Amino acid sequence: MNTPDRWRRWLSRFTREPKERLAQAFEAVDAFEALSAGPDAQILQSLVKAASSPHKLVFETGCKLLFLLAATHENCQQAIDRMSSSQDATARFHAVAYLNASLPESLRFSVIDRALSDRSSRVRQMAVEQAEAFGFREFLPRLEGMIASELRANVLKSLAFSVPLLRDGFLLEPAGDGSGFFLVVRGPNSVGGPFIPLHRLSDSYVKEAVERLKKGERLS
């Protein structure tokens, strides 16, 4: 859904949304259409405003269109970087949460770097998860330091999950009944893995399973 007309048809289905929110979402689509033809600072600000909204329909429209343009438009990349320094925590969260591999690595790295020190635990948590998702091992010393200094449970939970994945390439999570472990690996398109019963658990089995899952292969 990357054309203005498709977005407008999609938005037209949300007849129960407050009119002012729908209007903001449609304005974001108009801004996307205009910016696709050429840069305009005032129109870009309208799209950034939608991307920074706390209302789901508005920010989903604004963020997806802004980040879509940012793959090829430097002014949109700069806007995302500015969002990551906004006084508004919602804007900062969206700046890191909607990062994707189509954006320059330098931009992704800069936004995550800033977000890891954010005063909002929600933003820090997302930064931890994105650092792992993009394989930014440069952040490992900092993330490992955060495990000792972080006070918020949501961030600590993400650190416990993401740091082993980033450092070792896998995570073994014990089953609640003690019958084995869930092997977690980031594959080509997702994060997941099989349950390994205790009688099959060995370093060699885990190593082989990790390598196959990273390639997207299924385990028998």
- Nearest Cα to Cα of residue 77 among 86, 69, 88: 69
Residue type, 48: V
Q: How far is CA 186 from the centre of its chain?
A: 14
| Cα gap 45→28, rounded to integer Å | 10
Q: What per-residue confidence (pLDDT) applies to 190?
A: 72
Q: How many CA atoms does the CB half-sphere of 92 hold within 13 Å?
A: 22
3-state helix, strand, coil in the chain (%, to 5): 65, 5, 30
Please report, to the nearest 10 degrees, the dihedral formed by the alpha carbons of residues 79, 80, 82, 88 taken in order.
Answer: 120
Q: Where are the beta strands (DSSP E) in 85-176?
A: 171-174
Q: How many C-beta neighbours within 10 Å does residue 102 have?
A: 11
C-beta separation of 122 from 154 below 8 A: yes
Degrees, nearest 5: CA angle 29-30-35: 95
C-beta separation of 128 from 158 below 8 A: yes
Q: What per-residue confidence (pLDDT) applies to 2?
A: 73
* Cα→Cα distances 79→15, 43, 86, 136, Å: 31, 12, 10, 22
Q: What per-residue confidence (pLDDT) applies to 1?
A: 66
Domain residue extents for the chain: 1-95, 116-167, 169-220
| Cα gap 78→95, rounded to integer Å | 11
Residues of the chain falling short of pLDDT 50 = none
- Nearest Cα to Cα of residue 127 among 139, 118, 115: 115
